[in-house]
Amino acid sequence: MVAVQEQTVSVWKNQINPTVQVAGSGPAVVFLHGAYGLTWDPFLDALAEQFTVYAPEHPGTTLGDPDGVKALDDLWDLVLYYDELFAQLGLDNPTVIGHSFGGMIASEIAACYPQRVGKLVLLSPIGLWRDDVPVKNWMILPMEEVVKAAFYDPSGPLAQQMLTMPEDEKEAQDVQIRVTWSLACTGKFIWPIPDKGLKKRIHRITAPTLIVWGAEDKLVPPAYAEEFGSRIAGSQVALVEQAAHVPQLEQLGRVSGLVRDFIQS
Amino acid sequence: MKVSMFHLMPYRDLPDDFEQRYHSVWVDPPWTELGDAEKVGQYYNWTLDELIHAAKAGVDGVCVNEHHQNAYGFMPNPNLMGSVLARATNGMDVAVVQMGSTLPTTNPPTRVAEEYGMLDTISGGRLVAGMPLGTAMDATLCAGITPIEQRERYYEAHDLILKAWTADEIFAWNGKYYQLPKVNVWPRPIQQPYPPVWIPGLGSLSTWEFAAQHNHCYCFLSYYGPKAGKNVMDGFWQFISERGVEPNPYRAGFLQLVAVAETDAKAEALYEKHIQYFYNKSLHIPPEYFFPPGHQDYRSLENNIRKGIFKSYFDKLDAIPNWKFKDFVDEGFVIAGSPATVRDLLTDAVTDLRIGNLMVLLHIGSMPHDLTLKNIDMFTSEVMPHIHDMWDNQWENHWWPEKLRTKRQASIAAL
């Protein structure tokens, strides 16, 4: 375990006050989390062995700052907001890693500000749409259904961890509030279909890009790996066996190795 | 007391195993498997006939509402129904209570201002203008409104409609969700400055605040009866008293399912299966559809989770499939029985909750047309006269069309 520091920063005329978790040393890597909120996990631990990891919480998802999301009207505002946040953290052209919702936002930042992003790693990103393989709308699925779609082994410890609530009643409530509000805040930028025009902008990405997809992803099917891969010039696609929507944890060793090698190459 | 008949216009012939076979009654029940357009045409006509029958039988108002993509109650544009009702009740002292056009999904919202303007003019100033936020099923799932933005859109639409009805000059509306270069609604309503506004709600604090702040009538629309409504309405009246506003019972509306027959036993025989149909099939909705994340603002979410409100609500619903007539009556979900039973229970309920504007659901679930007419006749002749005089010696109903505020004359005359 590395020591993780929490920084609270004020962005967007001090209307948004996200917590940024920072750990490790070495070249800067930004991790943008998915729709269920930020949890410091073994994948980030592994990254922090070689890199300085910055993991900001998306606007509104930080405890104590639920109204932060109100300061942004739409995806355009959100991309500008991240430009400001990167500047404030002194990040010139870090590697940006995004998972799921975070992958869509990382793609948008890299398309809008190609010079902002040194390298881009997309872990099962959303942001494109095909009628024949629709992305599941997790905001209206019971958690049991989400887990079945998101994990290669829904009965394994990783999946079960998502379904297990703390025994303490207050802590269980905290988790429920935090997860629901994270879904609400991220949902603001993707409802009802997570196709907000990335397909028109994605060709602008110039950063070397690695796309990682779980071969068994039933939430965002692996058909999208090819959709992203074919649109980002020179990108590499890695399909990970025995993994679904959270390949970086389901196949921790393999994926953290792939990502490390890609960043260091 | 003003008493209005509410109608949902449900699908009356869902298959017996509907709730086992299908995921939800709302949003995704497949029309191609379940819907029969010929039957539905008959339902719409029965619905109008039933409401018009109730108007002739003496109710003070007739209510319709808006919902989409469901077999629970599907008047996607309640104003189409309202226009028939307005025309058919001309000459009767009956309010046309639209409960109503869903504000965040009607684009632009000036459309609501126009259509309500039409209804108020066609009816000669008898409109009650309901302004619902809309369910999550309708607004976010059927109409694609972003959950976290639904309420904000609603507030903006409300402000735009009131300004469109009252502004002296043509104006530009530069809102967050709506931008209109020249707002100039034709026609404006007859009622000045605008028709009474009713705000339907499910008990959230932000809705009370909103209704009280604008001096609108707050209507608690629930299918869970006065026992379940007690907490909400007590909270509402406490809120009103803390604000120093007069506790006029006509500030509040309440919806109640009512079924009347000659005796309690006969009511059970006639209505039980239709009540079970309503709760088990018409309300077969997964919790995820009710509350997509963001539909509730952060404070309401926190309040509901900390107080266990979601949990107790859904735990209760879990038991309903096994309920008999007696359970529905004992829990107060439905007030049903002989005229004497219904009179007593209903009087207690409206007194206890301090309700001036009562809405009664007299068509329930699968009830056939003839039985509905019977329920209307028994309710209006044997129950309604006993509650009709409540509150009137002390309070004026400022939330009712001005020309209809005096007591309706003996109803039989109109028949």
Residue B409 is predicted with a pLDDT of 63
Interval A88-143: pLDDT, tens: 999 999 999 999 999 999 999 999 999 999 999 999 999 999 999 999 999 999 99
Cβ neighbours around A189 below 10 Å, total = 25
- Helix or strand (DSSP H, E) at A231: helix A223-231
Amino acid letter for position A202:
I
Interval A31-85: pLDDT, tens: 999 999 999 999 999 999 999 999 999 999 999 999 999 999 999 999 999 999 9
Token pair, residue B34, equals 């379940």
Alpha helices in A89-121 (DSSP H): 101-112
Q: Is the dihedral of CA B314, B316, B319, B320 positive or negative?
A: negative
Choice between B206 and B248, residue whose per-residue pLDDT is larger = B248
Gyration radius of chain B's alpha carbons: 20
DSSP 8-class letter at B26 = B
Residues B293, A139: C-beta atoms closer than 8 Å: yes
Q: Which residues have CB under 8 Å from B16's CB, separation 6+?
A: none
Rounded to an integer, what distance in angstroms lies between the CA atom of residue B47 and that of residue B53? Answer: 10
Mean pLDDT of B234-256: 93
> Closest residue of A to B289, CA-based?
A140
> Closest residue of A to B137, CA-based?
A140
Measured between CB atoms, does A72 come within 8 Å of chain B? no
Which candidate from B286, B294, B301 shows the least CB-CB separation from A177?
B301
Q: What is the ipTM of this complex?
A: 0.94
Rounded to an integer, what distance in angstroms lies between the CA atom of residue A248 and that of residue A29? Answer: 15
Residues A188, B149: C-beta atoms closer than 8 Å: yes
> pLDDT at residue B406 above 90?
no
Contact between residue A134 and residue A69 where contact means Cβ atoms under 8 Å apart? no
Token pair, residue A37, equals 């909120």
- Let me know how long chain A is: 265
Measured between CB atoms, does B179 come within 8 Å of chain A? no
- Residue B189, classed as helix, strand or coil, is coil
Rounded to an integer, what distance in angstroms lies between the CA atom of residue B388 and that of residue B30? Answer: 43
Interval A182-240: pLDDT, tens: 999 999 999 999 999 999 999 999 999 999 999 999 999 999 999 999 999 999 999 99
Which candidate from A142, A173, A180 shows the least CB-CB separation from B293?
A180
Token pair, residue B321, equals 């499939």
Contact between residue A247 and residue A43 where contact means Cβ atoms under 8 Å apart? no
Contact between residue B271 and residue B364 where contact means Cβ atoms under 8 Å apart? yes
Burial environment of residue A20 by CB neighbours within 10 A (0 to 12, 13 to 18, 19 or more) = buried
Banded model confidence at residue B317, pLDDT cuts 50, 70, 90: confident
Contact between residue A10 and residue A246 where contact means Cβ atoms under 8 Å apart? no
Contact between residue B222 and residue B202 where contact means Cβ atoms under 8 Å apart? yes
Alpha helices in B27-109 (DSSP H): 31-34, 37-57, 78-88
Measured between CB atoms, does B294 come within 8 Å of chain A? yes
Interval B342-374: pLDDT, tens: 999 999 999 999 999 999 999 999 999 999 999
Q: How far is B107 from chain A (nearest CA, A)?
A: 17
Provide, as residue numbers in chain B, all residues whose Cβ is less than 8 Å from the Cβ of A141.
Answer: 288
Amino acid letter for position A50:
Q
Amino acid letter for position B235:
G
Q: How far is B15 from chain A (nearest CA, A)?
A: 26
Residues B148, A185: C-beta atoms closer than 8 Å: yes
Task: Give the CA-trace dihedral at B152, B158, B163, B166, to 10 degrees.
Answer: -160
CA separation, residue A3 to residues A22, A30, A45, A52 (Å)? 9, 17, 9, 11
Q: Is the dihedral of CA B29, B30, B31, B33 positive or negative?
A: negative
Rounded to an integer, what distance in angstroms lies between the CA atom of residue B188 and that of residue B115? Answer: 9
Contact between residue B260 and residue B267 where contact means Cβ atoms under 8 Å apart? yes
Residues A192, B144: C-beta atoms closer than 8 Å: yes
Longest C-alpha distance within chain A, in Å?
50
Residues B289, A67: C-beta atoms closer than 8 Å: no
Rounded to an integer, what distance in angstroms lies between the CA atom of residue B104 and that of residue B151? Answer: 8
Provide, as residue numbers in chain B, all residues whose Cβ is less than 8 Å from the Cβ of A140.
Answer: 141, 288-289, 292
